[in-house]
Structure 1
Amino acid sequence: MITMGVSGLAELERKLIELGEKVGTQVLRDAGKAALEPVLEDMKQHAGFDDSASGEHMRDSIKIRSSSSKSKGNAVVYLRVGPSKKHFIKALAQEMGTVKQVASPFIRPALDYNQAKVLRILAVEIRDRIENKR
């Protein structure tokens, strides 16, 4: 389990509310995507690749995806980084292993290794984007 300590969320929420829901959600989405860039690159670097396979490779389908919803009046942004649904089984097999395939994790290590970097980038990006929207 990945555990991260974050402080100042009440102040962040006030600043985002000042910007308005639509702009605040966009600030979070853009900052989150920028922060997850190191995880994306790490995953792509360590994802399996088969030269003999035709069509899209799992490595090429790894992207940062976002969605948002309203939860108790607040806008919530969800960000995911990983392969497309089409490559889910292949990614799971590489990550966890199978009877015939030894596990070669690339998703969890990318998250674990870049955790501190993601938090640093996220803090800087949110601060810069809030200041530039005023």
Structure 2
Amino acid sequence: MARQTFKIEGLAELDEALKELPKATARNVLKRVLTEQGQPIKDDGERLAPRLSGGLKASYTVTQKLSRRQKGLNRKESDVEVYIGPGPAAKSVQTEFGNAHQAAHPHLRPAFDGNVMKVLNGIKTSLEHEIEKARIRLAKKAARIAAKIAAGK
């Protein structure tokens, strides 16, 4: 499997800001941002998928879960990972890449290529916004707890 690398400025600062949040909050922020920002790739993949029975288009999703087979093939590289594409049916791979009996009809790759920079920049922007919202929520929660403690004394 070929790997691509992208360079986005400013993610180191966002990573530091995430480390300041409680671990569960940081994970939830990342899940929310990645799921939201993966939508354009999902939408384009659905749009580009050939329509035979409609099952391929309907199987497109943005998820954190993989099938048992996909888990075996995938090496986890991060605490939070989001997967975008059609379901685990072999038909989706055959349609994307073709085989001896069928020509390739790429749908996920063009969707990815057409949206990758938009998604990566969207992740950066949304992450900044979501981290700030999480900080505000945590500050309000701390103030409520402090008020309860003060009222109890």
Alignment match of 1:66 (pick from 64, 67, 85): 64
AA partner of residue 58 (structure 1):
L
Distance 2:13 2:93 in 1: 39
Larger radius of gyration: 2
Unaligned 5+ segments in structure 1 are 68-74
Unaligned 5+ segments in structure 2 are 66-77, 136-153
Task: Tell me the equivalent position of 1:126.
Answer: 127
8 A contact 2:33–2:126 mirrored in 1: yes
Task: Tell me the equivalent position of 2:146.
Answer: none
Task: Tell me the equivalent position of 1:45.
Answer: 47
Alignment match of 1:11 (pick from 10, 13, 19): 13
Alignment match of 2:82 (pick from 79, 84, 90): 79
Higher strand share: 1
Alpha-carbon displacement from aligned partner over 1:23-55 (angstroms, at most 9, x marks no partner): 0011111111111110000000011222xx4xx
- Percent of pairs with identical residues: 29
Alpha-carbon distance, 1:6 to partner: 2.1
Give RMSD over aligned pairs: 1.6
Alpha-carbon distance, 1:7 to partner: 2.8
Task: Tell me the equivalent position of 1:104.
Answer: 105
Higher helix share: 2
- Normalised by the size of structure 1, how large is the TM-score? 0.82
Alignment match of 2:29 (pick from 17, 27, 31): 27
- Normalised by the size of structure 2, how large is the TM-score? 0.73
Q: In the comparison of the two structures, how many residue pairs are matched? A: 121
8 A contact 1:35–1:118 mirrored in 2: yes
Alpha-carbon distance, 1:82 to partner: 1.0
